[in-house]
Amino acid sequence: MLHDAHAGPTPADDPSRDVADNDSNDDEDHIVGRYVYVTAPLWGRCKLFYEQSGEGEQDIVFLHTAGSDSRQYHGVLNDARMRKRCRMVAFDLPGHGRSFPSNAHAAGAHTNSEEAYVGCIAAVIKALKLNKPIVCGASMAGQVCLAVAIHADKVGAGGTIPMQGCDYLNMERTWHDKSPYANQALFNPEWIYGMMAPTAPLANRQLIWHMYSGQAYGIFHGDLDYYFGGWDGRSRMKDIDTKVWCLCVP
């Protein structure tokens, strides 16, 4: 409402274009989903859901944001240009989306750390036999892309695209995202919805709202353990070998 009052009404979407899922407006979906077992630090052996599309030469792994899942990438996974150039993989972290939760923690007690996150990415790359993939992510996943660059040999990646990534974050976190007095299925998506640009396509904003509303209790909060307090790369950015490493920041 503030945006509309200041800048006028937000332009309406073109109803003939399904922006949220398939830019080509094709009736065929090109994504194939499967499960794989991986073992990661902190989380142990987990049954993860992953999706694939494309037949290009370059492998690329897409990482979803905190408290969400890989459905965020259905638009790019269905994009004809990307399918021609890349072999794309997007997976849900343990307990997120369609992946099974880790047995290492009680229900609702999910937490995330650099060791667990990087270890899980490395395990997926190894299990799927990916060849030096580019690892791409935003927000929390943007932070871990920098960690992946630091641990390049361990992970087996060939480059990263750290969107919204930085070496350290000193923001204060909110605790309402796990409060027993707040409905998490309403509070968390409303919080994220409020951070999205009002000029973003309505179909995309509504899909993001839906995904954030559909996650289990404590998943979003546990991910933010890493985003707000578990990542500090200030003294380690110098360890990224820029002579052999592709670090792409859009």
pLDDT in tens, the chain (250 residues): 777 788 788 776 665 555 556 555 568 899 999 999 999 999 999 999 999 999 999 999 999 999 999 999 999 999 999 999 999 999 999 999 999 999 998 999 999 999 999 999 999 999 999 999 999 999 999 999 999 999 988 999 999 999 988 888 888 888 889 999 999 999 999 999 988 887 888 888 999 999 999 999 999 999 999 999 899 889 998 888 776 655 555 4
Q: For 171, phi and psi rounded to 5 degrees?
A: -70, 150
Do the strands 86-91 and 159-163 form a parallel or antiparallel pair, or are they unpaired?
A: unpaired
How far is C-alpha 83 from the chain's CA centre?
19
Residue ranges covered by each domain of the chain: 20-247
The distance from CA 42 to its chain's CA centroid, rounded to whole angstroms, is: 19
Residue 64 CA to its chain's centroid (Å): 1
Axis crossing angle, helix 114-127 with helix 140-150, rounded to the nearest 10: 70
pLDDT for residue 250: 46
Task: Give the side-chain half-sphere CA count within 13 A for 188.
Answer: 28
Is the CB of residue 4 less than 8 Å from the CB of residue 10?
yes
In angstroms, the CA 102 to CA 234 distance is: 30
Q: Which residues contact 235 (CB under 8 A, 6 or more apart)?
A: none
> Left (φ > 0), alpha (ψ -120 to 50) or beta: where does 45 sit?
beta
What is the predicted pLDDT for the residue at 19? Answer: 57
For residue 2, give every residue at least 6 positions away whose Cβ sits within 8 Å of its Cβ, in sequence order, or none.
none
CA distance 63 to 76: 13
**Model confidence pTM above 0.75:** yes
**What DSSP letter does each residue of 191-204 carry, written as one string?**
HHHHHS-TTS-HHH
Within 10 A of 2 (CB to CB), how many other CB atoms are there? 7
Amino acid at 65: T
- DSSP H/E element including 127: helix 114-127
Which CATH architecture fits 20-247?
Answer: 3-Layer(aba) Sandwich (3.40)
